Structure 1
Amino acid sequence: MDVLAIGDKVHDEARQGEAFSPFANDPNRYSKHFYIESYGCAMNFADSEVIASILNNAGFGATRNVEEANLILLNTCSIREKAEQTVRKRLTEFRKLKERTPGLLIGMLGCMAERLKAQLLEEEKLVDIVVGPDAYRSLPGLIEEAETGQKAVNVLLSREETYSDIAPVRIDSNGISAFVSIMRGCNNMCSFCVVPFTRGRERSRDAYSILHEVTDLVEKGYKEVTLLGQNVDSYYWIDEQKDETVTFAVLLEKVALVSPELRVRFSTSHPKDITDEVLHTMARHENICKYIHLPVQSGSTRILQLMNRTYTREWYMAKVDRIRELLPECGISADIIAGFCTETEEDHQDTLSIMRYSGYDMSYMFFYSERPGTLAARRYTDDIPEDVKKRRLQEIVDLQGQLSRASNEKDLGKTFKVLVEGNSRKSDADWMGRTSQNKVLVFPKKSMDEQLKGTYVMVKVTDCTKTTLRGERSK
């Protein structure tokens, strides 16, 4: 299991089952320390920055060293069974540490905490604190309660909570890229998804607080923000002061206008909600990255209907066509599920063909994992054998590898504006950055002591693999 710090922004923005260990800039300010690991989507990483701010105000500093922590927190994900299994394993490991550390508290936060609620407290006795995604403000009080030996729980969902007034602590940040949450919850009742039950209904954060946070990041030298939401395209807020309706397209433009030097990304989009207005806004502003994550889930209209995705195969393909028409250089990625309930070989072939049609630059690919409490778990039988799911997933993975390589080969000889994020993961002799299309581009340093981190560089692509571009600085 890789360790991923909040600020260590990588090509995969929605990693599943990975963790980070944050560390406050001045840990000696605090007499008590917390250690936190976050699993799942980018929203969880952004939430952990909010949690860190709340805990700092309560007198806790962050630490990378779990041995010196007074409080261990796991910010969890319920999207797949594997993620939950990983968390359970970590809880077992931490319980052993708790047995030899008097006063140590262990807390579970996030979606898994919301879904399992009291089970972990009463049946398995693995944790002292259980806090859902809308109850992080109550953490200080819950910690005090747990310190008395009581089990502390708050998993109440909210129709209003957006944490808009809390300034996130950018722990372990690279100082270049930051997440900015613009909304919470989800109204799309996709039958396979547990998020509406663990994060509640959609509510949009007020635009003024978003712009204030972005402006503050720019003033601190950040060069890139990613606007986050379960479905950013359904962002909707009414500015009563100006009698103005702020849609996602309007918000996107407002953020882009904060500074021409600021790159703006967003994730995630639902195909039914991304509008021409958003695409035209992207086209108007050079600093809005030309990249859209457009989850397809399946290429079969029949399966899409069972998934309650509210679009057909043909409709999705038309949306891809529209993106290509208005944004010819736009990168597109997807989420894909293999082996959903009743999926036939014909349905599977439809998924492979829509992948070819869309020409995804990359995808997040999984086989179906039934989640208790979802509509699919209540309505359908998980009837595809695991070996069939794995075989179909492997075919999807293999095809995506071909598509990714073909996409990268199209970039050979082209020159891209790259935001340098730091050293290449494989060699300190190389820089690593990303293109507007969210592709990783590696290029050699001219000297080991040069300083390009956080700057824009023009790089000509000279070589590639299926995952990475390689180039030379353009003269």
Structure 2
Amino acid sequence: MSKEENKKLFIETLGCQMNDTDSQHIIAELKEHKNYSTTRNMEEADLIIINTCSVREKPVQKLFSEIGQFNKKKKDSAKIGVCGCTASHLGDDIMKRAPYVDFVLGARNISKIKDVVDKKGAVEIDIDYDDSTYQFAASGMNMYKTSVNISIGCDKECTYCIVPATRGEEISIPLEMIVEQVQKDVANGAVEVTLLGQNVNSYGRRFSDGREKTSFTKLLQEVSKIDGLERIRFTSPHPLHMDDEFIEEFAKNPKISKCIHMPLQSGSSSILKAMKRGYSKEGFLKRAKKIRDLIPEVRITTDIIVAFPGETQEDFEDTIDVIKQVRFDQIFNFKYSARPNTQALELEDKEIPDEIGSARLTEVIELHKLHQSEHMDSNIGKTVNVLFESLKPNGEVSGFTDNYCQVFVKGSDELLGRFVDVKITGATRTALKGEVIN
């Protein structure tokens, strides 16, 4: 079949790193099958796609605000598509509220993009759809870093979370497909990979083809055998599934980045039970201590939700206590907001007054700022190894250390894609400054 005339695609991605990867799949599929190339100028685009997130507060308002602006500014012939998690739970309601939208594609249905792009009114939001063995078109992007999905969906029932309702049950992608994709990306110049899943360390429990179970630790071992791959990251793991085998592999495997995301959510065992997280305050602290004992240079990051329905002052103090004990290197802080299709909606009568929630959030942020400053200042004078990946407009180049501190140095594009030793000369709460050691 002859390809149509080259068309322009503008895509806006909201939310998590998995959404970023889904957008790369959309771009690659439309380039391969429909001859689209990307543009950063929305007004010249023939197709405008917004890849949505439904995890954060007010995503629905943001979605309709964004597509309303797109509709005002786009050229007359341009089509608009809505993809991702908000698309999954709103479905054809999107078209009822915004009839100028041409198609809706849920987060579990990304492989169908080439089929729906030319079907006015198409709505594909089946959260049971299985594309775990679908071979997406190659992106062809020569990047130093790549990301690869290792599973789709989530089997957890965290009471605050909408993801299972938008991405469906968890299915692992076959190990050999993951290894093959990483090998291709390394051949195209990647030296670092991030393995993505809603809960990466439950990888291997269920496959579409009924094959034997395996483990995330086994996957890490197989991926680390790839020649030319220098660094492996992953997100997000779940504290409940951080068994000794996993932690020991994380500690001893030199290719695995020594930065780990441990989503705490709450330091209160009673709130954790209400959230259905599956671990206690003491269990979390035990896992964090084991990791810090094995890897002194590790950076531990986390998510925290304050003011979950029913959270007492004592519950909140437990969260503060965990923060003080673990001294997280980065915290993604949130004040609880009710999400559609979640069990926590039943706790409406226990919701915390907004002013109390805001005060608790501020307390977490201020405490974390102190810890951040101390962590970052402790790097001054050290020599670190940095993978440089992006040019900045002020004559600087930025990259990340093995334990995922961002570093800025004076330099040019000759540093890009290289691992370079840097002497740290200064620090802010969020980044380091340094000088390349020749």
Smaller-chain TM-score range? over 0.9
* TM-aligned CA deviation for residue 279 of structure 1: 2.0
Contact preservation (8 Å) 1:164, 1:210? no
Distance (whole Å) between structure 1 residues aligned to residue 285 and residue 207 of structure 2: 35
Q: Secondary structure at the match of 2:240?
A: coil
Q: 1:71 to 1:189 in 2, by over 3 A?
A: same
Distance (whole Å) between structure 2 residues aligned to residue 261 and residue 71 of structure 1: 35
Which residue of structure 2 aligns with residue 210 of structure 1?
A: 178
Contact preservation (8 Å) 2:186, 2:228? no
Q: 1:260 to 1:355 in 2, by over 3 A?
A: farther
Q: Secondary structure at the match of 1:341?
A: coil
Within 5 A, what are the aligned runs for 1:27-426? 30-56=5-31, 57-97=33-73, 101-146=75-120, 151-158=121-128, 160-162=130-132, 164-169=134-139, 175-236=143-204, 245-259=213-227, 261-381=229-349, 383-424=351-392
* TM-aligned CA deviation for residue 261 of structure 1: 4.6
Q: Deviations over 1:279-304 (max 9, x none)?
A: 22223322210110010011111111
* TM-aligned CA deviation for residue 83 of structure 1: 3.2
Q: Secondary structure at the match of 2:76?
A: coil
Contact preservation (8 Å) 2:29, 2:137? no
Distance (whole Å) between structure 2 residues aligned to residue 192 and residue 237 of structure 1: 24
Q: 1:29 to 1:265 in 2, by over 3 A?
A: farther
Q: Secondary structure at the match of 2:297?
A: coil
Q: Secondary structure at the match of 1:366?
A: strand
Which residue of structure 2 aligns with residue 434 of structure 1?
A: 400
Distance (whole Å) between structure 1 residues aligned to residue 80 and residue 118 of structure 2: 13
Distance (whole Å) between structure 2 residues aligned to residue 246 and residue 345 of structure 1: 42
Distance (whole Å) between structure 1 residues aligned to residue 145 and residue 111 of structure 2: 25
* Gaps in structure 1 of 5+ consecutive residues: 1-27
Distance (whole Å) between structure 2 residues aligned to residue 239 and residue 184 of structure 1: 10
* TM-aligned CA deviation for residue 97 of structure 1: 3.0
CA RMSD of aligned residues (A): 2.3
* TM-aligned CA deviation for residue 112 of structure 1: 0.1
Q: Secondary structure at the match of 2:10?
A: strand
* TM-aligned CA deviation for residue 361 of structure 1: 0.6
Q: Deviations over 1:384-427 (max 9, x none)?
A: 122222221111111111111111122222221111112346x3
* TM-aligned CA deviation for residue 474 of structure 1: 3.4
| Percent of aligned positions that are identical | 34
Contact preservation (8 Å) 1:29, 1:61? no
The TM-score normalised by the length of structure 2 is 0.93
* TM-aligned CA deviation for residue 233 of structure 1: 0.4
Q: Secondary structure at the match of 2:242?
A: coil
Distance (whole Å) between structure 2 residues aligned to residue 200 and residue 321 of structure 1: 33
Which residue of structure 1 aligns with residue 426 of structure 2?
A: 463
Count how many residue pairs are aligned between Structure 1 and Structure 2.
434
* TM-aligned CA deviation for residue 237 of structure 1: 6.1
Distance (whole Å) between structure 1 residues aligned to residue 93 and residue 365 of structure 2: 36
Q: Deviations over 1:411-462 (max 9, x none)?
A: 222221111112346x31x3211111111112233xx5x6111111111222
Q: Which amino acid aligns with 2:94?
A: L
Q: Secondary structure at the match of 2:332?
A: strand
Q: Which amino acid aligns with 1:361?
A: D
* TM-aligned CA deviation for residue 231 of structure 1: 0.6
* TM-aligned CA deviation for residue 257 of structure 1: 1.4
Q: Secondary structure at the match of 2:118?
A: helix
Q: Which amino acid aligns with 2:16?
A: C
Q: Secondary structure at the match of 2:339?
A: coil
Q: Secondary structure at the match of 1:381?
A: helix
